[in-house]
Structure 1
Amino acid sequence: MDYVIFIAAMAALIYGADFIIKESERIALHFNISHFVIGATLVAFGTSLPEMAASMVASAHGKSDMAVANVVGSVIFNITLVLGVVFMIAKSMNPDRDLFSKDSAWVIVPLVIFFIMALDGKISRIDGALFLLMMVSYLIFLFGSNKEELEIEIDEELEKEKFNWSKSIVLLGIGFVLTIGGANFVVESGTNIARSLHVSEWIIGLFLISLGTSLPELVVSLVAVKKGHAEMSIGNIIGSNVANFSMVLGGAALLNPLSVNLAATKFDMLILAAASIALLFVLANKLYNKAGGIFLLTILALFIQNAFV
C-alpha cells in the first residue's frame, strides 16, 4: 500500500508544481517582480513548508536528531540533487542576475551561523529567534534588490491575460496543497518502510524525510527550467536553504531547544559545508551546465556512499 501512496503522491507533486510556476509568473508580471525574487520567496517558502512541518513535529515530540537531520539533509539534497539534476538537463541557463555578487552571502552566512550556534551542542530558543530575524533581513534584502532589476522574459500568453487575484490565489493554493500534500505522503509512506527496517531517527531524518521534503524543490525547479526560468530555479534553492535554517530550524528550536552532536555527525556536517562551498564555486564560475551538475552530483554520491557503508 505504501508503494501505491508513493506513486500517487509523486503525481500530485508534479501537477502542483505546474500550478505554482504558472501563478508565480502571473504575480511576477502583475507586480513587476523578478522571477528570481518570486522563486526565492513565494515558491521557496511554499516548498519549504514540508520541512517545517516535519521538523516542528519532530521537535514537539522531543526528537532533536530527526528535526536537525531533516534540515541538514534537505540543504544537502537541495544543492547537490536538485541543482545537480537541473544543471544536467537544462539546455541553456544564462541568468541575467549576477548571482555570485548579489546572493552568495545567503549561501554561506546561514551555514556559518548554524555551526556557531551548534558549537555548544544545542540550539536554544534564543538561537531560534535569531534565526527567524535572519529570515526578516533576507526578505528586506530581496525586495530591496528587486527595485534595480525587472524580469523581462515573461510568458507571452500570460502577458496578454488580465490579472485576476481570486483566480491566482485559488490556483496557487491548489498548487501548494498538491505539492506539499504529495511530499507529506511521500515522507509518510517512505518512513513507514524505513521503520519496518529498524533504521535510526538520524538516518530517517537525514535521508527519507529530507529527501521527501526536498521533492517539491526538485519538481518546481525542473518545471521552472522547462519553462525557461533559470533564475526561479536557482532562487528557489537559495531561498529554500535560507528558509530551512531560519524558519524550519528556528521554528523547531522555539518549540523545544534542539541538541546537536557535531562530533557524532561530523561527516554529514562536512558534506553540508562542502555542498555550500560547491554552490559558491558554481555561482562564481557560472557553471550552470553539465560540468556543474556532475560536480554537485559527485558530492551527493559521496554523501550517500558514506551513509550506507
Structure 2
Amino acid sequence: MDILIFIISMSALIYGADFIIQQSEKIALHYNISHFVIGATLVAIGTSLPEMAVSMSASLKGSGDIAVANVIGSTIFNISLVLGCVFLIAKKISPNRDLFAKDSAWSLFPILIFILMAIDGKLNAIDGVLFLFLMAGYLLFLIGSNQIDEVDEELAKEKFQWTKTLVLLIVGFLFVVVGADFAIESASNIARNFGISEWVIGLFLVAFGTSLPELTISIKSALKNNADLAIGNIIGSNVANFTVVLGLSSILNDLNVNLRENIFDISAAVIVSVMLVFITANKLYNKSAGIALLVILGLVIQNSLA
C-alpha cells in the first residue's frame, strides 16, 4: 500500500510542478526574458519544488537524512542522468551563452559551501539563512547577465491571461505540497519495512522521483534545440536545491549531516559538478560526454546499493 501511495504522490508532485513550470515560462517570456535565465530561475525553481516540498516535509517530520540525501541525489541525477540524456538525444547543442565563463562555477559553489557548513555535523538556521543569501546573489547575477534571445513563437502567439495563469499556479502548488507530504510518509515506511536506511531511500527513490520534472523539461528543450533552457534548468535547479531547499529545511529544523559516513555519495555529487564545469569549459556538448555522465551514475548506483 505504501508503494502505491508513493507512486501516486510522486505523480502529483510531477504534475503539479509541470503546471507551475508551464505558467512560469509564459510569465517570463511575456516579459522578454532570455531562455537561459528562464531555465535557471523560474523553470529551475519550478522543477525544484518537489525537492523543496519533500525536504521541508522531511525536516518537519524529523527525517533529516531524507531531506539532505534528496538534495545530494537530485544533484547527481540532474547532471549525470538528465544532462547525459540531453547530450545523447539532442541533434546539436550550441548554447548562445558562454556557460563556462558565466555560469559553470555556480554548479560547484553551492555543494562546496554545503560541505564547509556540514563539517560540524549539522545544518542550522544560520546556515539556512546564508544559503538563502547565496540564492539571492545568484538571482541578482542572472538578472544582470540577462541577454534577450529568440522567443518561442508558438508560446508568443498564445494570449497571456493572468487569471488562468494564477489559477493553474495555485493548483500546481497544491499538488506539490499535498504530494510531498504523502511521498515522505510512504518513503519512510518503505525504508522501515525493507530495512533500508532513510539516506538510501532519499538518495535514490525520492531523488529520482523529484528529478523527473528536470528530466522531462530538459529533454523537451533538447528536442526543440533549446540547449540554453535545458542546461540553464540543470544549473539553476542545482543551485536552488542547495540554497533554497536545504536553506528552508534547515531553518525549519536542524539537519544532521554525517560527511564521513556518506562520503562516497557526497563526493559523487562533487565529481559530477566538476565534470559539468569541465564540459562547459571545453564545449564538450556531445554523445561522448553523455555516455561518460551515465557511466558515473551507474557506478554510484552500484556502490550505494551494494
Give yes or no for TM over 0.5: yes
CA displacement, residues 144-186 of structure 1 (integer Å, 9 cap, x when unaligned): 111xx1021x232333333322233334555566677777777
Indicate the SS of the match to 1:33. Answer: coil
| Contact kept in structure 1, 2:218 and 2:230, CA below 8 Å | yes
Is 1:264 aligned with 2:241?
no
Aligned letter for 1:306? N
Deviates further, 299-308 or 250-259: 250-259
2:77 is the alignment partner of 1:77: yes
Letter in 2 for 1:150: I
Distance 2:23 2:280 in 1: 27
50-59 vs 171-180, which moves further:
171-180
Residue 46 (structure 2) pairs with residue 49 (structure 1)? no
Once the two structures are superposed, residues 92-135 of structure 1 have per-residue CA deviations (whole angstroms, 9 ceiling, x without a partner) of 22110111111012111111111111122222221111011111
1:62-141 alignment runs, 5 A limit: 62-141=62-141
Which residue of the other structure, out of 281, 287, 290, is the alignment partner of 1:290?
A: 287
Residue 217 of structure 1 deviates from its aligned partner by 1.4
- Are 2:219 and 1:222 equivalent residues in the alignment? yes
Residues 51, 71 of structure 1: 8 Å contact kept: yes
Alignment partners' CA distance in 2, 1:182 and 1:221: 22
Letter in structure 2 aligned against 1:84? G
Residue 150, structure 1, aligned to residue 145, structure 2: no
Using the TM superposition, give the Cα deviation of residue 71 of structure 1 relative to its aligned residue in structure 2, in angstroms: 1.2
Gaps of 5+ in 1: none
Between 1:12-21 and 1:33-42, the stretch displaced more is 12-21
- Relative distance call for 1:216 and 1:269 in structure 2 (3 A) is same
Aligned to 2:166: 169
Deviation at 1:37, TM superposition (A): 0.9
* Aligned residue number for residue 38 of structure 1: 38
Amino acid at match of 1:89: I
Tell whether the 8 Å contact from 2:14 to 2:50 is kept in structure 1 after alignment: no
Q: Is the 8 A contact 1:25 1:158 kept in 2?
A: no
In 1, distance between residues paired with 2:97 and 2:229?
11
Aligned pair in 2 of structure 1 residues 178, 128: CA closer, same or farther (>3 Å)? closer
Distance 1:131 1:34 in 2: 25
Whole-Å separation in 1 of the counterparts to 2:8 and 2:56 = 25
State which drifts further: 43-52 or 176-185: 176-185
CA-to-aligned-CA distance 1:46-94 (integer Å, 9 cap, x gap): 2212212222222223322222111111111111111111211112221
Say yes or no: does 1:240 pair with 2:237: yes
Normalization by structure 1: what TM-score?
Answer: 0.88
DSSP-derived class of the 1:76 partner: helix
